[in-house]
């Protein structure tokens, strides 16, 4: 058996890059040797017996043989073997004799009856394919694997089974025949952990039953599986759903506003009553998410926090205020208890979810034990028990003083690996039970209160994949009967409890099955494992999961959503009948006149929203004319009669113009609409109206005639207008037709005119006077432009129609936006647009203008001296580039280049009015300093200009001229790296450019008194690793000052609201953080010069680092 790898894939999907497993398989029983037959020598010289296929088949009745005869004469791309029965289905081999885009034999196993499978069913099967060598069993070529066969994946195998040239070189042919054997083993009896239900008869019935469920899925918009999983979990908590229904949204409905509560109510209503998969588009739109948000996968626990905080805020002041808190809020009791003196400190804090350690813990109980583990404070780490007792040995720990009805547990599957310096996923086995008792982790008061402490598992949110990407799905028990369901985006099915619980412990899984007489076992890691668990308190299960009937839903919601469902059903029915109808667009003279009011090319552009109708494909053109005549009469307020209407079909020419080209004859009007149109785009007609008062209203159009269209250009006003259309003989010359054309264009009979032909956007050429129109290759649909004859050097900006057309081609309406000061201008800030003062103005420019001319034109439009004007290019997203345009470098660039970035084009420029001339500004170095006074709330960003070769002292001098200082107070200039103070800068040192993540902070320099120390302070939170945010600062710490006293002073300095500041704890950070108790002395904990104080926020939610190691947009709900 060859155990090398080869390319294994679905024959219908050649992009699959799954690799075959390397598994040693037996050759099968050797046939008995015939003593009279000479042995065959292998390449290595060993003697082997020829292959006895009959004996091989007799050794295992499940092995089937396929002989491919006359191999070299096969012309078909693929051939199939006879079908054989395995389990409840027929199977066959599929061969590609000439290979599949390579010079290799391709072999696949195919489930013959797979197309009859229910759409949600699959068959787990292991199989082996062996290409037999006629004389040397050791040269047999064999591969095996297993696969989930389904309607979407009917075959599986190897497209590079063996190079075609090796078939001949190694002697696999016997009289131009190949012998192949194969065996399939349906894994209904496979002894493996986490086996999915197979497509046995029982399993198929279960899948068919799942399709009839009232439970429905949610559509994935790109990477929103995490959102879908969380929404399903929350929806199936009846108490949460009822709270959402009861949120007041009448005002939103009346105002036509799409709010988050209304969008969530609609989504829940459709999940409950629609019977089909629902879209989350309206909800994500209400979130304020764009396409980038939809294709960025975030952490489901982070979304849970953000969404619940958003809903909790919107519930304030309504009858459901506090609903989120009542469902999910518990309380933690942090305590320190001295072991030798009667001193104890307790601090209670709320929680909405619990983050539990997975690494090093075998199960849920072990994680809780670690969570409440007692820490002994002794030796150098003794606890300061106040003035009376001083430093004492103590026990420090945490207990739960209250558990919520719905207990949300996050399993910390993603952690930072300091050795690899990256986030990694922990796939270790971690057991969680279907029922769990939390009594052991409760405070004494809670146990004495006799509250129920038993919890029942409600939902398991699973992450499948690794740190670089993956997929979320959920297992949920929607009712109290114990039945589990799997919610995987739009797919919903019943599952066994083992699939919902045991299969998501992580660790390893073992596959074992028998192939060709030998048991084969493979062990694989489980990359799909539980990431978030939701337990419900047993005493509250019935109340939490009770059904929410239609009568409990507010009437205004039910009425609105039922109407929307009816409209959706109407549209759905219309889509189902769409194959019977076609869209037809019609154009009349009024449309051409209206289109020409703006300087457009061509006669018309067929844009969305233009006049169109839906008509039966079998309708005749005559009946269509009668129907459209009625609708046009009502629309335009004048009479249209079918007899006075002749239809001309439009065509898109090779030069991208769209023109009428052929009339519909009287005989043609008896044909159906569909006979004139075979594509999916709408059929288009131009309606020519007859001016005759009596029949016949139209003469037949002969081959030598053409329908021409006439426009008029006025060089005095630089305007272009549509005039008329007329049927002319193409045999006549332009001089012969000029009287008619003058009349149509509104010129006097003797007025001298110039005639141009509009060919394309940039090709408007004079029409020659010699030769007929046919000689000039003119015909139906061509456009002639007439203008009065004027001098080319006259006072006209565009004296000729051709020059005006070029102007229109290159002109562009440019939006001018004021740019924020560079210090505040952060292109990565999601709220940048909200920070820009909306003073949007526009100016019409030409793409061919050079930068200096653009500056002059923009300055004129803004009434700014061009010497003080600086421009910045804009990204396609609308945000400005980091660096403004340099006047010298951009001098030779055209406006077209200024508006182009890679393959993207924008129509926006940012501008700034400088305090000094731009030339002087560009000769200096710009420095941005964040200035902090004694109150952080009043800090401001200051932009400074210093000469080249300046020192940090020069920066301070420039700063002193722009800020107000208290008398006698100096300034400290600090270097900040990633929101933490790196060092104080020496005024004599030369100014050097900042690195990424660095900035300057300056603050007032107040002298320290004896014993006081100046310590850096940073705002921090922990996302498996410590992260800083906000503006750091230096603070004076007094001798013997406790954490509580310092916090009080810092509260006054930061001027943060009490509600926000209460969430902060004081910590000292060296290599790791140590949160200080209120009575602890701060300076005693600062034992290193590198130590700093952290205002620690345990509730801050950060950009998810769990699912991807690449930079991501932070998860935000904007509305």
Which helix (H) or strand (E) segment holds residue 445: the answer is helix 444-449
DSSP 8-state class, residue 1021: E
Question: Out of 338, 471, 723, 725, which one is annotated catalytic?
Answer: 471
Cβ(849)–Cβ(895) below 8 Å: yes
Calpha distance 176→637 (Å, rounded) = 82
Question: Out of 95, 225, 442, 723, which one is annotated catalytic?
Answer: 225
* 3-class SS letters over 111-126: ECCHHHCCCCCEEEEE
The number of C-alpha atoms within 13 Å of 750 and in the hemisphere containing its C-beta is 0
Q: Bridge-partner residues for 683, per DSSP?
A: 584
Q: What is the Cα gyration radius of the chain?
A: 40
3-state DSSP helix/strand/coil % of the chain, to nearest 5: 25, 35, 40
Calpha distance 529→494 (Å, rounded) = 19
300-315 vs 225-235: helix crossing angle, rounded to 10? 50
442 belongs to the catalytic site: no
Calpha distance 709→730 (Å, rounded) = 13
Which helix (H) or strand (E) segment holds residue 524: the answer is strand 518-525
Q: End-to-end distance of the chain based on CA atoms, in angstroms?
A: 63
Calpha distance 409→1022 (Å, rounded) = 18
Cβ(677)–Cβ(583) below 8 Å: no
Cβ(786)–Cβ(711) below 8 Å: yes
Calpha distance 218→223 (Å, rounded) = 12
Calpha distance 423→415 (Å, rounded) = 5
Where residue 73 falls (left for φ over 0; alpha for ψ -120 to 50; beta otherwise) is alpha
Calpha distance 647→662 (Å, rounded) = 9
Alpha helix (H) ranges present in 996-1098?
1043-1054, 1058-1061, 1082-1085
Q: Which distant-in-sequence residues (6+ apart) come within 8 Å of 427 by Cβ?
A: 413, 506, 507, 525, 526, 527, 529
225 belongs to the catalytic site: yes
DSSP, collapsed to helix, strand or coil, labels residue 1059 as helix
Calpha distance 129→165 (Å, rounded) = 19
Residue (of 721, 731, 622) closest to 669 by Cα position: 622
DSSP, collapsed to helix, strand or coil, labels residue 55 as helix
Residue 980: how many CB atoms within 10 A of its CB?
18
Residue positions annotated with a catalytic role: 225, 471
């Amino acid at each position: 058996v060859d155990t090398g790898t080869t390319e294994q894939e679905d024959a219908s999907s050649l992009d699959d890059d799954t690799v075959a497993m390397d598994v040693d398989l037996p050759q099968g029983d050797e046939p008995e040797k015939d003593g009279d037959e000479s042995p065959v020598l292998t390449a290595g010289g060993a003697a082997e017996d020829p292959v006895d296929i009959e004996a091989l088949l007799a050794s295992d009745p499940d092995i089937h043989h396929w002989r491919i005869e006359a191999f070299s004469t096969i012309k078909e791309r693929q051939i199939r073997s006879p079908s054989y029965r395995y389990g409840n289905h027929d199977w066959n081999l599929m061969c590609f004799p000439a290979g599949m885009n390579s010079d290799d034999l391709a072999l696949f196993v195919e489930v013959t009856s797979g197309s009859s499978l229910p759409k949600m069913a699959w068959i787990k099967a292991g199989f082996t394919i062996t290409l037999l060598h006629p004389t040397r069993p050791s040269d047999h070529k064999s591969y095996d694997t297993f696969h989930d066969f389904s309607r979407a994946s009917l075959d599986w195998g190897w497209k590079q089974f063996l190079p075609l040239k090796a078939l001949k070189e190694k002697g696999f042919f016997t009289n131009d025949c190949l012998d192949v054997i194969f065996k399939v083993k349906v894994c209904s009896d496979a002894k493996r952990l986490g086996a999915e239900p197979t497509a046995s008869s029982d399993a198929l019935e279960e899948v068919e039953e799942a399709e009839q469920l009232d439970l429905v899925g949610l559509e994935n918009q790109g990477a929103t599986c995490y959102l879908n999983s969380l929404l399903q979990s929350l929806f199936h908590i009846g108490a949460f759903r009822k709270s959402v229904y009861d949120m007041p949204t009448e005002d939103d409905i009346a105002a036509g506003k799409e709010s988050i509560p209304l969008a969530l109510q609609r989504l829940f209503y459709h999940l409950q009553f629609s019977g089909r998969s629902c879209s989350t588009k309206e909800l994500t739109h209400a979130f304020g998410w764009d396409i980038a948000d939809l294709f960025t996968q975030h952490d489901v626990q982070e979304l849970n926090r953000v969404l619940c905080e958003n809903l909790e805020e919107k519930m304030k002041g309504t009858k459901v205020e506090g609903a989120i808190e009542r469902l999910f809020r518990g309380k933690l009791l942090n305590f320190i208890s001295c072991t030798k003196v009667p001193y104890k400190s307790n601090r209670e804090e709320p929680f909405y979810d619990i983050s539990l350690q997975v690494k090093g813990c075998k199960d849920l109980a072990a994680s809780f034990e670690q969570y409440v583990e007692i820490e002994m404070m002794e030796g150098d780490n003794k606890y300061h028990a106040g003035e009376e007792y001083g430093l004492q040995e103590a026990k420090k720990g945490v207990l739960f003083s209250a558990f919520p009805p719905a207990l949300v547990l996050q399993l910390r599957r993603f952690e930072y690996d300091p050795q690899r310096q990256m986030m990694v996923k922990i796939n270790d086995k971690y057991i969680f039970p279907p029922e769990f008792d939390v009594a052991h982790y409760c405070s004494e008061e809670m146990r004495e209160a006799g509250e129920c402490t038993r919890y029942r598992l409600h939902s398991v949110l699973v992450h499948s994949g690794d740190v670089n990407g993956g997929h979320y799905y959920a297992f949920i028990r929607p009712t109290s009967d114990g039945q589990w369901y799997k919610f995987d985006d739009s797919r919903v099915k019943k599952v066994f409890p083992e699939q919902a619980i045991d299969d998501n412990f992580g660790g390893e899984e073992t596959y074992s099955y028998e192939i060709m007489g030998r048991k084969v076992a493979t062990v694989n890691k489980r990359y799909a494992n539980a990431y978030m668990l939701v337990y419900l308190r047993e005493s509250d299960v019935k109340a939490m999961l009770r059904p929410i009937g239609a009568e409990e839903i507010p009437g205004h919601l039910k009425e609105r959503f039922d109407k929307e469902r009816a409209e959706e059903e109407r549209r759905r029915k219309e889509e189902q009948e769409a194959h019977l109808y076609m869209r037809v667009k019609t154009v009349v003279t009024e449309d051409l006149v209206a289109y020409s009011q703006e300087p457009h090319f061509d006669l018309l552009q067929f844009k969305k929203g233009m006049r169109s109708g839906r008509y039966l494909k079998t309708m005749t053109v005559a009946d269509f004319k009668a129907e459209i005549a009625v609708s046009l009469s009502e629309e335009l307020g004048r009479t249209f009669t079918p007899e006075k209407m002749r239809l001309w079909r439009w065509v898109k020419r090779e030069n991208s113009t769209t023109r009428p080209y052929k009339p519909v004859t009287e005989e043609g009007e008896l044909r159906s609409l569909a006979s004139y149109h075979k594509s999916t785009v709408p059929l288009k007609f131009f309606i020519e109206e007859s001016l005759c008062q009596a029949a016949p209203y139209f003469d037949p159009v002969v081959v030598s005639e053409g329908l021409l269209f006439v426009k008029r250009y006025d060089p005095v006003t630089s305007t272009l207008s549509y005039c008329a259309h007329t049927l002319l003989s193409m045999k006549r010359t332009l001089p012969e037709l000029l009287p008619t054309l003058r009349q149509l264009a509104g010129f006097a009979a003797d007025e001298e005119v110039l005639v141009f032909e509009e060919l394309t956007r940039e090709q408007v050429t004079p029409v020659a006077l010699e030769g007929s129109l046919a000689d000039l290759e003119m015909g139906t649909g061509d456009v002639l432009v007439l203008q009065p004859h004027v001098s080319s050097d006259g006072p006209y900006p565009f004296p000729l129609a051709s020059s005006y057309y070029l102007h229109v081609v290159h002109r562009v309406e440019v939006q001018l936006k004021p740019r924020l000061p560079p210090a505040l201008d952060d292109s990565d800030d999601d709220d940048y647009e909200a920070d820009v003062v909306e003073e949007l103005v526009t100016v019409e420019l030409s793409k061919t203008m050079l930068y200096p001319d653009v500056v002059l034109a923009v300055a004129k439009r803004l009434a700014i001296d061009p010497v003080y004007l600086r421009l910045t290019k804009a990204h396609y997203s609308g945000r400005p580039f980091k660096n403004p345009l340099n006047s010298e470098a951009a001098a030779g660039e055209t406006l077209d280049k200024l508006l182009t970035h890679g393959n993207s084009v924008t129509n926006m420029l940012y501008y700034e009015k400088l305090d000094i001339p731009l030339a002087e500004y560009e000769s200096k170095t710009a420095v941005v300093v964040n200035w902090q006074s004694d109150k952080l709330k009043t800090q401001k960003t200051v932009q400074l200009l210093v000469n080249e070769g300046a020192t940090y002292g020069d920066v301070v001098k420039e700063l002193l001229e722009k800020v107000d200082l208290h008398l006698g107070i100096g300034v400290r200039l600090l270097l900040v790296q990633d929101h933490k103070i790196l060092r104080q800068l020496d005024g004599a040192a030369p100014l050097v450019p900042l690195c990424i993540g660095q900035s300057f902070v300056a603050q007032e320099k107040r002298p320290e008194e004896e014993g006081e120390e100046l310590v850096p302070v940073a705002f921090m939170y922990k996302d498996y690793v410590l992260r800083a945010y906000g503006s750091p600062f230096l603070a004076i710490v007094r001798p013997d000052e406790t954490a509580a006293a310092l916090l009080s002073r810092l509260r006054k300095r930061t001027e943060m609201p009490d509600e926000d500041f209460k969430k902060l704890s004081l910590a000292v950070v060296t290599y790791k953080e140590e949160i200080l108790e209120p009575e602890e002395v701060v300076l005693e904990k600062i034992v290193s010069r590198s130590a700093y104080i952290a205002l620690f926020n345990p509730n801050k939610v950060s950009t998810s680092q769990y699912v991807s190691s690449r930079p991501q947009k932070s998860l935000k709900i904007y509305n």
